[in-house]
Amino acid sequence: MTIDVDVRNLSLKYNDFEALKNISFHLESGKIHGILGRNGAGKTSLLSLLASFRESSEGSVKMDGEKPFENANIMQKVTFIYEKDYKDETEKVKGMLEAVERYRPDFDTNYADHLVKIFKLPLEKPVNKLSKGMQSALNVTMGLASRSPLTIFDEAYLGMDAPTREIFYKELLADQSEHPRTIILSTHLVSEMDYLFDEVIIIDKGALVLQEEYETLASRGASITGVTNLVDDFVSGMHQLSEQKLGGTKSVMVYGDISDKQRNEAQQKGLEVGPISLQDLFIHLTREEA
């Protein structure tokens, strides 16, 4: 079971500070959506509105056409996983999972058992005695095993080491293909997680920078390298993200469609047209102007 999300002209103010500015997008159901933004961009603010942890100052959020805020029918379909402070949580791992099972109609106990095994979670240990990485693995276990139609992971990997993050990503993809739901992953670990995304949203300083299918985004950017004046000619009029000079050669990163005709032209001029990564795009699209 999956759910679609429609966000229209969403704004959020903390007193006078505008954390989200007139954001609109649609999240197609059954896909993995990556939400990328630098520190303080507004990712957690946005996700907490989607999870109805708070109400927007302006605009609307709808899930399958309904407003989720204080809507029990919708809220039981939404799981929001974020880094919680567990220092006073004396419940054991086992008890935590049993509590989630009671509130989540799609919770799968067998799958939770499987995740407990692969993350090596100690069922009888109180949650506040787990290491940071294990607390994150428990969060992820609750998020995946809930199989909620909308599952939101807000930087859920914090504290996990690289092999544990790998397990999370692998499980996420495997379980998503068996039990499709709408998944949102917020992150700034772009290069590590880009292959997980079907769609990408980039926010910066509270505003939406872009929403695009990952495949389209990946094919849009390019780096053009070659003799300086030929590169300059070729990229003139294109959306240029950055440039690097080395002696008489230059490499310019551009964003936009490059036609086959342009690619042939570049080849004839001895220019190299290379791919750029989502991480490169993210860095340049959210860079502070000097």
Distance in angstroms (rounded) separating the CA atoms of residues 137 and 165: 9
Can you tell me the distance from the alpha carbon of 265 to that of 281, in angstroms, rounded to the nearest whole number? 24
Report the residue from 9, 24, 26, 40 that binds ligand ATP according to the rule CB under 6 A. 40
Give one word for 178, left, alpha or beta, with left for phi > 0 and alpha for psi -120 to 50.
Answer: alpha
Residue 209 contacts residue 257 (beta carbons within 8 Å): no
Q: Does 159 bind ligand ATP (CB under 6 A)?
A: no
| Segment near ligand ATP (CB under 6 A); pick from 3-11, 40-48, 209-217, 231-239 | 40-48
* Position 97 contacts ligand ATP (CB under 6 A): no
Closer to ligand ATP at the Cβ: 7 or 41?
Answer: 41
> According to CB under 6 A, which one of 39, 110, 177, 236 is a site residue for ligand ATP?
39
Selected from 23, 27, 41, 144, the binder of ligand ATP by CB under 6 A is 41
Distance between CA atoms of residues 212 and 153, nearest Å: 19
Ramachandran assignment for 46, one of left (phi > 0), alpha (psi -120 to 50 degrees), beta (any other): alpha
Tokens 């047209």, residue located: 273
Taking CB under 6 A as the binding criterion, the range among 32-40, 73-81, 91-99, 218-226 that sits at the site for ligand ATP is: 32-40
Which residues, 178 to 207, sit near ligand ATP by CB under 6 A?
A: 188
User: Given the rule CB under 6 A, which residues bind ligand ATP?
Assistant: 14, 17, 19, 37, 39-45, 188
